[in-house]
Amino acid sequence: MTGKGQGFGFGLGKMKELAEAFKKAQQVQEGAKRLQEELEQMEILGESGGGLVKVIVSGNQEPKRVEISPNALNEGAEVLSDLVTVAMKDAYTKSTATMRERMEDLTSGLELPGF
């Protein structure tokens, strides 16, 4: 007669493990909320043309503002358009990298199945 006295095969050790997992999940959820707020407040700078054009986005890749040097205006519309595009890509790349790093920091040390 094996398995008697073990309830449903869900011993006390498993319950403790489950409780720990829930606790960790709650901590991650709280951390994720804080991280979201932090990313929204962040200002990440992308630039091009040696600083002629600057694009500032949040940590969530939300555009905040664009700064265009008066010297950039002398370059003409086509060049200025390219400078803005390059600065936007730079800001976006930095912002997504920052978000990824912060998410990895948040989830490091957790043994989440499937991740």
pTM of this structure: 0.73
Give CA–CA dist 1/56, Å, rounded. 69
The radius of gyration computed from the CA coordinates of the chain, to the nearest angstrom, equals 24
For CA atoms 18, 21, 27, 29, the dihedral sign is negative
Question: Tens digit of pLDDT for each residue in 30-52?
Answer: 888 999 999 999 999 999 999 99
For CA atoms 61, 67, 71, 77, the dihedral sign is positive
Task: Give the pLDDT of the chain (115 residues) as one tens digit per residue.
Answer: 454 554 555 667 788 888 888 888 888 888 889 999 999 999 999 999 999 999 999 999 999 999 999 999 999 999 999 999 999 999 999 999 999 999 888 877 666 555 4
Looking at domain 12-107, which of 3.40.50.12780, 3.40.50.20, 3.30.1310.10, 3.40.50.300 is its CATH number?
Answer: 3.30.1310.10
